[in-house]
Structure 1
Amino acid sequence: MLYYRFRSLFQVRPVLEKQIGDIVSKKETVRFILPAFPFKAPAEGSKRKTLGPLPDKAEEIALQTLNGFAESIAEMYDGGARVVIVSDASIYGDLLNITESDAFAYNQELQKLAASLDLQYLEFTSPGALVGIVPQEAPTLEKYSEVLSKTRDHLAHSFSHVSSFDDENEQATSWHYDTALPESNQPAALKNAILQRGKAYTALLESAALSAIRLSIHESNNVSKVTVDLFPPATNPDFITPWHGALAILPDASLRVVDASTVNKNEFEVVNNAQGHPWLLRVKCDLFKWPGIEVDFEPLFPCGMQVRPKEAHGPFRFEDVDMKRLRRLALSSAPILLRDFTMEVEKEVFREKARQLGEIQQWPFGDILEVRENVDINMNNVLTNEAMPFHYDGVFKMAQDEKTGEWISTPPLFQMFRNRSASQYKGGATLFSSSRNLLPLLGPDTISLEELRLLKWKTFTEVNDAFGGHDLHLPFIVAHPETGADTFRFHESWPECKCVAETSKPTIVQVVGWPEAQSDALCEKLTDLLYDRRVVYHHHWKAGDFIFNDNATTHHTRTAFSNGHREHWRVHVN
């Protein structure tokens, strides 16, 4: 099930429900059409909401969110899905005094950005190309100017007499414009002109894409269009579009889409991308100043942070990384990926860096586990090449309470990985899902956070060489042991049909005190959220990667792989 804003995609009004049903019955590709990404909002005097006229990290995350939306549908529907982005610079640019050169550059760079990210479920077009009056491609500014002119003429002549209407959708758009439009000597006139142009534009879209499902960045009543968020929910509580704002890394390393004109320039710095263009805002603090090491910090999608040497710097030794600073960063933005750092291939070096991070947790096999195919050690599916359920490490690691005699689960706080060899073939990715992104998605379609806080889940897995053999009753919501923040705790149910004979055993999960059918339904919905593209980071390993993960904040899993050696060193730290 897919979720967006506050509603489920498939809990829509009858008109859209019938439209979706017709497409699916014909086994056709579900095509969504989204009028958006026109240009960056212009400066208003000395103030600018954005970092400049070109796409930046905010656009990157928005495009990844939309691509994930369509990809998720493609995974459960054979017909697949596409999101068609209709850049509406030709609709509003002249009213907002946007130069054609700025709109052209923005459009060109946006498509280059999508191509560089290999976002295969996105397509780009223009209103004029959609109705067939201009070519699909406008490779030069001169051609682009012709497209804008012809499209506006067509809109004026063909849709100038669109009847006025005042429904919930228009009201939501009107409220959005109250804060999104630039300052004007005649604000009411500007707003009315844009709303009227928007009505004509809506008529154009409806006439040109009859079978497509209309998406909207504005709140809607789900009668004729579906509201979609462009960012993971924890990132954009103020619903700022990427072309009206910028991405900021806050003091706790969390991400927030902000109006750049409101940011204190003494507290934040502008970080440029490799091409020298403004890319994001980052708070000035020691968390991002590593002594003796010049590194870049790049947010991963939709959670986590990549740290790697700045261009023309490095390579740096892992031995020189400040582990206390790394621990603070991992507590704020898990998982942390260190890429292009070197390390002596010695376990004692790895072990010593783990000691600097915290207290190493011991297991029956010792401290460092060589995570690779190994038939000599029975750890369920950990040391196989098969897929694994979503889980957090140590859920089945038990200790007996000295006072009560009760057996309790003692999961470690951190995971520390060093990749020795990455599979060169398909599969073998590690997925990390963040509580920070998952918890805001709880609601009417699943269960509220407060309801979930009152429940427990029970699980059991057979004893093996490292863990198992105990019945567990555990809470779904637990306070983080260091930050105190709410964290989601769960284990994906893994029935025997998903196990490989003689190498893995099932793990049964149920809600304590609930009937089986009701329990299974909730567990399935919670599992869906773990796999939601706005929650889960897909990591494809590169030899030499280091990952530091807050095991209390995240869950992780592995996809199946074959025909390629894959090996990590892993150690747990508290």
Structure 2
Amino acid sequence: MAPNASTQSAHSGDHAANNKDAVAAHFISKFADLQSRFDAPTNVFESKGKRFLEATIARFVDRNEPITVVLPGFPTKTPNHGGKVLGPLPDRAEELALARLEKLCASVEEVYPVGCKVTIFSDGRVFGDLVGASLENIRAYKNGLKELVKEAGHTHIQFDGLENYTKTDNPEQEVLERFGINQMDMDARIANEPDIGNNFRSFSQFMERDMADRWAGKSEAEMRKGCDDVARKMMLRNVGFSSLVAEEYAHAVRVSIHCYNNAGPKFGIHLLPAKRMDTPRTPWHSVICEDVDGTVRAMDLKDVDT
């Protein structure tokens, strides 16, 4: 006797739910290889973020669309050539980072043939002038990334940028005005929001090293104030940029090179090999060293062979 329509519908619904669960579970297991996390109880991925990520993946499966992961980053190499990096162009560090992203997407296809894509939303124009990076170097870096993707045969990585969403010669200011960022009390947010405060401190520490030439001859207090001033401007732009990404990629899996509590909507990742609890290093601030036993380490250039 043939099953009735209601039975068929129930079985179909069960299969769809099971498929969503399987895809989400597989994605999360592979994503764990990249995740960065604070120590408990600051990290709340298991209690909150996991459910958020499962729901995000389920929406893609429901629509039978490729899972989209969006990563703001890969701006340009730090201007501290010789101290932190070899020069302005992508190198082995970027190769490794891109390969990790490609591997994640390819692994998703094992259970979800529709696929998975990573969009790198390059933010070089957002911060470049603040850290002294030229537009020429920003463009050369992004073009170099595209060449690395092509040469490696990566098929799951694509690029986006401010130029696709702004109309003026000052896209940074345009984004700030679009989202009303200039009226924001950033000092209050730094003081009261842990994620914002953590990013501010991270930016300020980076400015000490990335802009070392600017601080030559300055006192410790002058350098600290200068770093904080630049970091505060970076935070305003970062909030504006994040607002743009959130609006244009509202349904995507949003990942970040910064550590978060991983409740969602943002999840911190390691672009380079590291222990999960380590502070994430980025390829644009690092050189890669490979030990004789095959261990890969990311570090500042000045620390190599010392």
Shift of 1:212: 1.5
Q: Does 2:194 align with 1:159?
A: no
Q: 1:247 touches 1:258 (CA, 8 Å); kept in 2?
A: yes
For the pair shown, which has the larger CA radius of gyration, 1 or 2? 1
Report the AA paired with residue 152 of structure 1. E
Q: Alpha-carbon deviations, 1:193-224, whole Å to 9, x = none?
A: 11111111111111111121211111112221
Question: Where do 5+ consecutive residues of structure 2 fail to align?
Answer: 1-28, 38-42, 216-222
Aligned counterpart in structure 2 of residue 255 of structure 1, from 296, 300, 303: 296
- Whether 1:191 aligns to 2:228 is no
Aligned with residue 114 of structure 1, among 124, 133, 149: 149
Aligned sequence identity (%): 26
Count of residues paired in the alignment: 247
Q: Which of 73, 96, 115 does residue 61 from structure 1 map onto?
A: 96
Amino acid at match of 1:179: Q
* One of 120, 123, 127 as aligned partner of 1:88: 123
- Amino acid corresponding to residue 5 of structure 1 in structure 2: Q
> Residue 5 of structure 2 corresponds to which residue in structure 1?
none
> In structure 2, what is the equivalent of residue 326 of structure 1?
none
User: Shift of the alpha carbon at 1:248?
Assistant: 1.1
Tell me, yes or no, if the aligned pair for 1:23 and 1:30 is still in contact at 8 Å. yes
Per the alignment, residue 25 of structure 2 pairs with none
Matches of 1:200 and 1:41 in 2, distance apart? 22
Q: Is the 8 A contact 1:236 1:257 kept in 2?
A: no
Q: Does the C-alpha gap of structure 1 residues 87 and 217 become closer, same or farther in structure 2, counting only changes over 3 Å?
A: same
Q: TM-score, normalised by structure 2?
A: 0.73
Superposition pairs of residues 437-456 of structure 1, within 5 angstroms: none
Q: Which letter maps to 1:65?
A: R
Q: Distance in 1 between matches of 2:230 and 2:296?
A: 33
Q: 2:243 aligned to 200, 203, 215, which one?
A: 203
Deviation of 1:108 after TM superposition, in Å, equals 0.6
Whole-angstrom distance in 1 between the partners of 2:193 and 2:52: 16
Q: Secondary structure at the match of 1:71?
A: helix
Query: C-alpha distance in 2, partners of 1:178/1:150?
Result: 24
Query: 1:22 and 2:53 equivalent?
Result: no
Q: Is the 8 A contact 1:49 1:245 kept in 2?
A: yes
Q: Secondary structure at the match of 1:104?
A: helix
Q: 1:5 aligns with which of 15, 32, 35?
A: 35
**Secondary structure, aligned partner of 1:94:** helix
Residue-by-residue CA offset, 1:368-425 (whole Å, 9 max, x unaligned): xxxxxxxxxxxxxxxxxxxxxxxxxxxxxxxxxxxxxxxxxxxxxxxxxxxxxxxxxx
Report the counterpart of residue 279 of structure 1 in structure 2. none
> Which residue of the partner structure matches residue 75 of structure 1?
110
Distance 1:84 1:156 in 2: 22
Distance 1:257 1:76, change over 3 A: same
Find out whether 1:177 has 2:203 as its counterpart.
yes
Give CA deviations for 1:422-471 in whole Å, capped at 9, x if unaligned: xxxxxxxxxxxxxxxxxxxxxxxxxxxxxxxxxxxxxxxxxxxxxxxxxx
Within-5 A mapping of 1:14-413: 14-43=51-80, 47-129=82-164, 131=165, 133=166, 149-161=169-181, 163=184, 164=186, 165=189, 166-181=192-207, 182-183=210-211, 184=215, 185=223, 186-222=226-262, 223-233=264-274, 239-250=280-291, 252-264=293-305
Q: Secondary structure of 2:110's match? A: helix
One-letter amino acid matched to 1:231: L
Report deviation, 1:233: 3.2
Q: Which has the higher strand share?
A: 1
Secondary structure class of the residue paired with 1:93: helix
1:20 Cα offset (Å): 2.5
Kindly indicate which of the two structures has a greater share of residues assigned to helix. Answer: 2
Distance 1:153 1:238, change over 3 A: closer
| Greater RCO (CA < 8 Å, at least 6 residues apart) | 2
Aligned-residue offset at 1:111: 0.5
Q: What is the DSSP-based 3-state SS (H/G/I as helix, E as strand, rest coil) of the residue aligned with 1:34?
A: strand
Q: What is the DSSP-based 3-state SS (H/G/I as helix, E as strand, rest coil) of the residue aligned with 1:256?
A: strand
Displaced runs of 4 or more, over 6 A: none
